[in-house]
Amino acid sequence: MPRLPYNPGMAQLVVTGGARLRGTVGVLGAKNAVLKHLVATLLAPGIHRIDNTPDIVDVRLMAQVISHIGASCRFEGTSVEVEVPDELLPEAPIDLVRRMRASILVLGALLARCGEARVALPGGDDFGSRPIDMHLEGLESMGAEFELVHGVLRAIAPGGLHGAEVMLEFPSVGATENLLLASVMARGTTVIGNAAREPEIQDLAEFLVTMGAVIRGAGTSTIEIDGVGGLDPGRHRAVPDRLEAGTYLVGAAITGGEVTVIDCVPGHLRMELRKLGEAGCSYEVGKDWVTLSGPERPRPVDFATLPYPGFHTDMHPQMVSLLSLAEGTSVITENIYAARFRYIGELNRLGADVQIEGQHVIIRGVTALSGCPIDACDIRAGAALVLAGLAADGVTTVNDAEHIDRGYADFPGKLAALGAHIERFD
């Protein structure tokens, strides 16, 4: 493979297309679960342990956030031990929070544990406006008061948090998690209506239950929490990452290969597998594995992204890469993040024919893609562009590949083990 010019300060993945992915790949715990488990440890002093933890940038960033608050984290293999002291510093610094949106979840945990919190407004991937109004309104109904000063949200609960009935306008994952973290030690009972039902919500609840929380209905649209006076350290194995699993399955589909993903939960990908089947893929599922074979050329598919159990928005870019090669026109409706489309210009540079009309993505399938330099703009877009490069003619260089490191552990290594021709340059 030709070595391209090195760009200082920018990670590159150099992909030579044409290889069919074949083999077996395992996934670790879900990023969107482990980040919340790390925050949950702040609720109880002592030593916690989280197993099945992926070594990804966002996990390390969250470890820095809770370390600033007072916890200490020790990573060993795929486990992390978190020691939480009796006294915490109830603030999350702006330089860390602005790099990762999930940091806003320390708000509920710190209000529950300390009765106060100072948290910078969150950052993370730029998907347009994702306000935290539902978080704040729910916490206010539980007795919290807020003030925004120089970009820092200052929160206090003068009389402590108390139970409340909160009806979310939308089944927001972040709002559900923040209210869940805040309510486990609030006085009385909290009911979260129109709650998010994602597997990661249920997994967070299971971890909190190991710490002594009393939670009913996690994974349904109504969650009831009876507040307790205090929690104990917990140990938990994080639920497998359905998005990582889904990405490797799309890799098999787009290259016409056959990949078995192990250590996953196939039921968490029910809608995504259904749409891959409609695209011409064949697949078989077991208790903790999926084997998928890709078609010579995919069929067009229409779908809309929706809260779980609908099609996950974080699988949208990967499917667009696949459907860019379909024999016909596909239409995807993005209902979750209005500004998720920045990667489409990069995909079109590879020769795709993808247009945006409002919240709809119109994908007119082409017979081939052609490799060239392109830029990743977020985690899933970066992964999707790499998958497109696997199917493209020639060499594709994906710049800003450090975005991918936020959500995938050793992405190029795992793809190479499946037969991809891929190299990383830092």
Residues labelled catalytic: 125
Quote the CA–CA distance of 300 and 297 in Å, as a whole number: 10
Q: Which two tokens stand for residue 45?
A: 């002093």
Which helix (H) or strand (E) covers residue 81, if one does?
strand 79-84
C-alpha to C-alpha distance for 47 and 281, rounded to whole angstroms:
45
> Which helix or strand (DSSP H or E) is residue 421 part of?
strand 421-425
β pairing state of 258-262 and 289-293? antiparallel
H/E stretch holding 275 reads: helix 270-278
Cα dihedral across residues 135, 141, 144, 149: positive or negative: positive
Taking CA atoms, 293 is separated from 22, 189, 252, in Å, by 9, 48, 6
Query: How many Cβ atoms from other residues are within 10 Å of residue 190's Cβ?
Result: 26
**Residue 368: CB partners within 8 Å, gap ≥ 6?**
325, 351, 392, 393
